[in-house]
């Protein structure tokens, strides 16, 4: 078989060499049987297509995720995959798009979707809510109808592999890690290294394989497409030996799948690169292919079927292809609900694709450094010579721009009269008629002068740096600010031409250091900005924010549509320099989050703070 496969693939490679490369579609195959069908597909298409193409060459890979990776790398051009794998293919680092969708049903009423069902043998007596401890058959780890859809209904939001391995007594879930989760491969029928394999080398792989697992008596329940049973058992009398488990914990005949299913799932799709993806060639190839080799078109070669195995290259149950609209990405193709469901479940899964941003989301909360920045050209300014200087602050009441630097000054002077310590300042949120607002730039409206929001041009860390550049002697801010606004990183007119070496940090020992040495030259280390909520809303807010971050965060799937951590003005809703929203671990109260050092600083400085909100919040503690 291996020799025959080599001949097939070498022949395909020779065909690729002889064909016009720009018109050759490199199709990914993941098994020997699929390679055999692909070779036949290529040969038969040469008979009905022009000599100059398009043509097909077949490229072997070990799994669909490997196909996705190599399509993105322009080593392959196309593959047909399940919706859950399509969600993976649409991630930013792959950026593939759906080109053609399989449809089922009649040509006059094409259905680019199928129903995910839970199939059992008739008379076995249990319902959907009684599956714990049963033996399960899955099409494959990470498949829509065979994995994500049923497990999202049955299992809590934990690692799906871990939860499935303990929920079911044993399973066959091809593609699972048999060493880490042996029970997920226990029922599989493959021999040696083929056991639990992610291809048809495992007899129970795919939807037809998952049905065979149930049919053979290996499993008690099989998670498949509704089409699977009709393909395997065209006679109603044979189908009547099986039943569907419904979400209302009843059973129905197999033919009543529209009233009894777990979810409606988008059909398998042909995916390709979003840029230079050969989509027109792929459409032409498949249009001609279904005209000549679709259902009942040819006995020499069948596009939707093969004597070598089930669902090779395309789904056997498909009746044709529909062109996916050019502007439709994988998110839109799958639909928001199904796409979000897959991504949420992938996010809590420990096997398969790496959780997006997990290192950031679960990273320890290290906080940031508060620094005092001066212009390198002002050589005479040190921490000990700030009295009488012009100061720039992020805003009144903020850690970096107010509490930390003025708390340290208060500890030295014992006075809260900061408008007398500095000659002039911009401290947004202060009395507009005071010297603490004398340096402020304001905005389009005079009422915006010294406002504690983005209407004030010198508000926030970037605003404080701008204040320093244009008017001030010293600015108090978060340590990344200078690096984020110099050397061409900020296109605004005030930042053009700025270099990081134009600035230095003031150290508490009276020395100065480059802005890159904040770790050894800072005023304090303080906690990051945090999202606060009422106790009864915490879980909802956390889920909502993490879900939105998946879509609109730094690596979000829809970050080109909207960006959580950036906008036309600075630090709106979240800080612009936020990498991601992170779990709080065990720091879920403000005391544990802020820590004793910061709380002590706040307590000693509190008499210099005027806060109606603080008075209201502490009223009942008296």
Residue 207 assigned ligand-binding role: yes
Note whether 409 and 450 are same-domain residues.
yes
Please tell me the predicted confidence (pLDDT) of residue 303. Answer: 93
Residue at 355 is within a domain = no
Helices 590-605/404-413 angle, 10° precision: 40
Residue at 302 is within a domain = yes
Last residue of a domain, one of 220, 241, 266: 266
Note whether 600 and 560 are same-domain residues.
yes
Residue 571 assigned ligand-binding role: no
Contacts 24+ apart (CB under 8 A), 509-512: 509/383, 510/382, 510/383, 510/384, 511/382, 512/374, 512/382
Do residues 161 and 176 lie in contact, with contact meaning Cβ atoms separated by under 8 Å?
yes
Note whether 243 and 340 are same-domain residues.
no
Residue 428 structure tokens: 């947004």
Note whether 491 and 577 are same-domain residues.
no
Residue 209 assigned ligand-binding role: no
Note whether 134 and 234 are same-domain residues.
yes
Note whether 413 and 511 are same-domain residues.
yes
Do residues 195 and 178 lie in contact, with contact meaning Cβ atoms separated by under 8 Å?
yes
Residue at 385 is within a domain = yes
Note whether 166 and 28 are same-domain residues.
no
Per-residue pLDDT averaged across 241-263, rounded? 96
Structural domain tally of the chain?
Answer: 4
CATH number at residue 602: 3.40.190.10
Omega before residue 54 within 30° of 0, cis = yes
* Lowest-pLDDT choice from 71-80, 128-137, 501-510, 522-531: 522-531
76: pLDDT strictly greater than 80? yes
Residue at 568 is within a domain = yes
Residue at 275 is within a domain = yes
CA distance 31 to 385: 74
Residue 17 structure tokens: 């060499």
Note whether 482 and 508 are same-domain residues.
yes
Per-residue pLDDT averaged across 313-337, rounded? 88
Please tell me the predicted confidence (pLDDT) of residue 250. Answer: 96
Residue 368 assigned ligand-binding role: yes
Note whether 486 and 553 are same-domain residues.
no
Note whether 119 and 239 are same-domain residues.
yes
Cα–Cα distances in angstroms (integers) from residue 375 to residues 397, 493, 509, in the given order: 25, 18, 18
Predicted confidence (pLDDT) per residue in 542-597, tens digit: 778 877 787 777 766 566 667 888 776 667 788 777 778 887 766 677 788 777 87
Do residues 224 and 310 lie in contact, with contact meaning Cβ atoms separated by under 8 Å?
no
Note whether 17 and 147 are same-domain residues.
no
Residue 258, Cβ density class (10 Å: 0-12 exposed, 13-18 middle, ≥19 buried) = exposed
Residue at 338 is within a domain = yes
Residue 400 assigned ligand-binding role: yes
Residue at 356 is within a domain = no
pLDDT interval class at 48 (50, 70, 90): very high
- Residue numbers of the domain that contains 46: 2-110+271-347
Do residues 371 and 476 lie in contact, with contact meaning Cβ atoms separated by under 8 Å?
yes
pTM: 0.53
Last residue of a domain, one of 500, 526, 552: 526
Note whether 245 and 287 are same-domain residues.
no
Residue 219 assigned ligand-binding role: no
427: pLDDT strictly greater than 50? yes
CA distance 464 to 21: 56
Cα–Cα distances in angstroms (integers) from residue 510 to residues 306, 381, 386, 521, 522, in the given order: 80, 9, 11, 10, 11
Last residue of a domain, one of 465, 492, 526: 526
Residue 401 assigned ligand-binding role: yes
The alpha-helical segments, DSSP class H, found in 416-537 are 418-421, 460-470, 481-485
Residue 394 assigned ligand-binding role: yes
Burial 597-606 (b: 16+ CB within 10 A, else e): ebeebeeebe
CA dihedral of residues 326, 332, 334, 335 (deg, nearest 10) = -150
CA distance 165 to 394: 52
Predicted confidence (pLDDT) per residue in 52-66, tens digit: 889 999 999 988 889
Per-residue pLDDT averaged across 73-91, rounded? 90
**Residue 85 belongs to what H/E stretch?**
helix 83-89
Which residues sit opposite 55 in a β-bridge? 24
Do residues 92 and 51 lie in contact, with contact meaning Cβ atoms separated by under 8 Å?
no
Residue at 550 is within a domain = yes
Per-residue pLDDT averaged across 240-255, rounded? 96
Closest by CA to 122, choosing from 257, 240, 18, is 240
């Amino acid at each position: 078989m291996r020799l025959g496969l080599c001949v097939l693939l070498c022949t395909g490679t020779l065909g690729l060499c002889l064909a016009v490369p720009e018109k050759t579609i490199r199709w990914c195959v993941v098994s020997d049987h699929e390679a055999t069908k692909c070779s036949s597909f290529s040969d038969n298409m040469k008979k009905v297509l022009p000599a100059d193409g398009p043509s097909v060459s077949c490229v072997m890979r070990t799994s669909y995720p490997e196909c996705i990776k190599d399509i993105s790398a322009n080593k392959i051009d196309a593959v047909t995959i399940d919706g859950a794998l399509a969600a993976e293919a649409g991630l930013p680092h792959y950026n593939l798009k759906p080109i053609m969708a399989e449809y089922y049903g009649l040509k006059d009423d094409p259905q680019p979707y199928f129903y995910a069902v839970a199939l059992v043998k008739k008379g076995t007596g249990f319902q959907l809510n009684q599956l714990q401890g049963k033996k399960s058959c899955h099409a494959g780890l990470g498949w829509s109808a065979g994995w994500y859809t049923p497990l999202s209904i049955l299992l809590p939001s934990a690692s799906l592999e871990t939860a499935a391995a303990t929920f079911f007594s044993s399973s066959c879930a091809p593609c699972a890690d048999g060493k880490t989760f042996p029970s997920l491969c226990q029922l599989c029928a493959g021999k040696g290294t083929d056991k639990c394999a992610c291809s048809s080398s495992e007899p129970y792989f795919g939807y037809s394989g998952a049905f065979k697992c149930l049919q053979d008596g290996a499993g008690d329940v099989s998670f498949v497409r509704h089409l699977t049973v009709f393909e395997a058992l065209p006679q109603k009398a044979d189908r009547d030996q099986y039943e569907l488990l419904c979400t209302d914990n009843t059973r129905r005949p197999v033919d009543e799948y529209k009233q009894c299913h777990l979810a409606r799932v988008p059909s398998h799709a042909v995916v390709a690169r979003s840029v230079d993806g050969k989509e027109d060639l792929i459409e032409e190839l498949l249009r001609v292919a279904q005209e000549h080799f679709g259902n009942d078109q040819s006995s020499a070669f069948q596009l939707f079927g093969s004597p070598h195995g089930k669902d090779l290259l395309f789904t056997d149950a498909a009746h044709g292809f529909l062109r996916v609209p050019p502007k439709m990405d994988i998110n839109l193709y799958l639909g928001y609900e199904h796409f979000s469901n897959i991504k949420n479940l992938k996010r809590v899964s420990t096997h398969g694709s790496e959780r997006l941003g997990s290192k950031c989301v679960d990273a320890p909360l290290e906080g940031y450094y508060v620094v005092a920045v001066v212009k390198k050209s002002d050589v005479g300014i040190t921490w000990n010579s700030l009295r009488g200087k012009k100061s720039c602050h992020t805003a009144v009441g903020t850690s970096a721009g107010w509490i930390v630097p003025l708390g340290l000054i208060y500890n030295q002077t014992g006075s809260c009269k900061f408008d007398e310590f500095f000659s002039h300042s911009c401290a947004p949120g202060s009395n507009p008629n005071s010297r603490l607002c004398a340096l402020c730039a304001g905005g389009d409206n005079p009422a915006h002068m010294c406002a504690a929001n983005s209407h004030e041009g010198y508000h926030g860390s970037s605003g404080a740096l701008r204040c320093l550049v244009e008017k001030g002697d010293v600015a108090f801010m978060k340590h990344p600010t200078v690096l984020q606004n110099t050397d061409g990183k900020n296109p605004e007119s005030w930042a053009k031409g700025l270099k990081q070496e134009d600035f230095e940090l003031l150290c508490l020992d009276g020395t100065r250091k480059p802005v890159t040495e904040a770790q050894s030259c800072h005023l304090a280390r303080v906690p990051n900005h945090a999202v606060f909520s009422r106790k009864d809303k915490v879980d909802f807010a956390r889920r909502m924010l993490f879900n939105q971050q998946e879509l609109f965060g730094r690596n979000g799937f829809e970050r080109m549509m909207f960006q959580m951590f950036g906008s036309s003005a600075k630090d709106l809703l979240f800080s612009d320099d936020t990498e991601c929203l992170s779990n709080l671990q065990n720091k879920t109260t403000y005391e544990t989050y802020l820590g004793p050092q910061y709380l002590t600083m706040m307590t000693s400085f509190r008499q210099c703070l005027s806060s109606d909100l603080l008075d209201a919040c502490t009223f009942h503690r008296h």
